[in-house]
Amino acid sequence: MPPYAYFQDKFMPLAQAKIGIMTHALHYGTACFEGIRVNWNAEDDQLYVFRCQEHYQRLLNSCKLLDISLSHSVEELCRLTVDLIRRSGYREDVYVRPLAYKGSELLGVKLHDLEDSFLMIVTTFGPYLDGSKGIRCCVSSWRRIDDNMIPPRGKITGLYVNNAFAKTEAMHNGFDEAIMLTSQGYVSEGSGENIFLVIAGQLVTPSCNDGILLGITRDTIMHLAKKELGVETVERHIDRSELYTADECFMTGTAAHVTPVAEIDHRKIGRGVIGDLTRKLQQLYADVECGKNRKYLHWCTPVYAKPPKS
Ligand code: PMP
C-alpha cells in the first residue's frame, strides 16, 4: 500500500499531494504543525497513537496564535489521523505530521484574509537521538526567541529557523544537540526537546515562561515521576551554571523520547553515564507510549479495530 496523505479535505496517495510554489506558508513560515508518534505493540498486534488529543489541542492553540481557523474539532482530527494510518496499512512505529497553513497563493506579509488549509502525512521514523548512552550537548550561541517575537509555545514553522540555527551550529561543532538560553540567560530548551535536570533528588525543568514549547512528553514525564516514583518536578528559571552541576540531565520529546545527556559544554553531567532516575523514567515512558503499561492505556488510541488483550 502506498503511504497516504490527507490533503484538500481528502485522502490521496502521498505522491499526488502537491502545493503550489506561491503558497503563503512556504514564503513566510505561516504554518503550524504537530509531530505525533504511533507505536507498534507486537503483543497486541496493534498500533497506538500516543496522546493524540493533547497534540491536537496544542495544534488548535498554535492555530489561534496564527489566526488560522480549522473546520475540524480535536475529536475529528483524531479520527482523521487513525483513518490515515489505517489506510496506509503500517504495522511498525510511524510518525504523523499534521500541518495547518496559510494556503493562499499570493504574496504579502500578513496573517489576515488568507485561506486556511490543513494537511497530514504519515511516515516511518526511527530514533531521533541516541538514547542508549547519553548525548553530548552545548549551550548554543543562538538565543531562544521571546514570546513577544514569535511565541515558542506555538509550534509555528517560521519559528523553527531559530531551532535550526542552534541544531546545525551544535552539530557542526561536534555535539549532538543544542541547549538554548532565553534572552535573559536562563535555560530554555533543545532544538526539538524540553530539558530536565535532577538536583538533590528532585526534577527541575524550565517554566512555561522560559520560551519553551509545552511538551507533551514533558507533561507525561512530570506525571509519571510523581505518580509512579513519588518524585516532584519544580518548574522554575534555571541558570546556565546549574546545567554543569546537576546530578542528571535528560531531554524529552515526541521524537527524542527520554534522551539522557552525558555531557554539556565538555563537562560530564553526574558521572557522565545514564543517571538512575533518568533510566527509570526512560523505561517507564517506553512502556507507557506503546501501550504495554495498561494503567496508561487511556493515552493510547488504537488504530486497528480489535480490542487489546487485557
Ligand atoms: N521543544 C521543541 C522546540 C520541540 O520541537 C519539541 C517537539 N515537539 C518539544 C520541545 C517536545 O515536545 P513534545 O514532547 O510535545 O514532542
pLDDT at 310 over 60: no
Cα–ligand 1 centroid distance for 253 (angstroms): 5
Q: What's the pLDDT score for residue 308?
A: 45
Q: What's the pLDDT score for residue 131?
A: 87
pLDDT at 1 over 80: no
Q: What is the mean pLDDT of the chain?
A: 96
Place of cell 538514547: 131
Rounded to whole angstroms, the Cα distance separating 267 from 241 reads 11
Q: β-pairing, 267-268 with 202-205?
A: unpaired
Q: With contact defined as beta carbons under 8 Å apart, do 158 and 288 qualify? A: no
Place of cell 498486534: 45
Can you give the pTM of this predicted structure? 0.97
Residues with Cβ within 8 Å of residue 245, at least 6 apart in sequence: none
- Residues 101-126: tens digit of each pLDDT: 999 999 999 999 999 999 999 999 98
Rounded to whole angstroms, the Cα distance separating 145 from 153 reads 11
- CB of 205 shorter than 6 A to ligand 1: no
pLDDT at 90 over 80: yes
- The number of residues making up the chain comes to 310
Cα–ligand 1 centroid distance for 32 (angstroms): 13
By percentage, how much of the chain surpasses pLDDT 70? 99
Crossing angle between the packed helical segments 52-65 and 74-88, to the nearest 10 degrees: 120
pLDDT at 242 over 60: yes
Q: What's the pLDDT score for residue 127?
A: 87
- CB of 35 shorter than 6 A to ligand 1: yes
Q: What's the pLDDT score for residue 126?
A: 86
Q: With contact defined as beta carbons under 8 Å apart, do 190 and 177 qualify? A: yes
Q: What's the pLDDT score for residue 307?
A: 55
pLDDT at 2 over 90: no
The question of whether 306 is a catalytic residue gets the answer no
- Residues 46-75: tens digit of each pLDDT: 999 999 999 999 999 999 999 999 999 999
Distance of CA 230 to the CA centre of its chain: 25
* CA dihedral sign of residues 168, 172, 173, 177: positive
State the burial class of residue 174 (Cβ atoms within 10 Å of its Cβ: 0-12, 13-18, 19+): exposed
Tell the residue nearest (CA) to atom 5 of ligand 1.
192
Tell the residue nearest (CA) to atom 9 of ligand 1.
193
- CB of 194 shorter than 6 A to ligand 1: yes
Q: β-pairing, 202-205 with 233-235?
A: parallel
Give backbone dihedrals phi and psi of 59, rounded to 5 degrees, phi first.
Answer: -60, -40
Q: Which of 155, 226, 280, 292 is catalytic?
A: 155
Q: What's the pLDDT score for residue 309?
A: 52
Question: Checking phi first, is residue 153 left (phi over 0); if not, alpha (psi -120 to 50) or beta?
Answer: alpha
Q: What's the pLDDT score for residue 124?
A: 94
Mutate which of 193, 216, 258 for ligand 1? The one with the most ligand atoms within 8 Å of its CB, which is: 193
Rounded to whole angstroms, the Cα distance separating 176 from 138 reads 8
- CB of 154 shorter than 6 A to ligand 1: no
By percentage, how much of the chain surpasses pLDDT 90? 95
Task: Compute the average pLDDT of residues 142-158.
Answer: 98
- CB of 163 shorter than 6 A to ligand 1: yes
Q: β-pairing, 257-264 with 135-139?
A: parallel
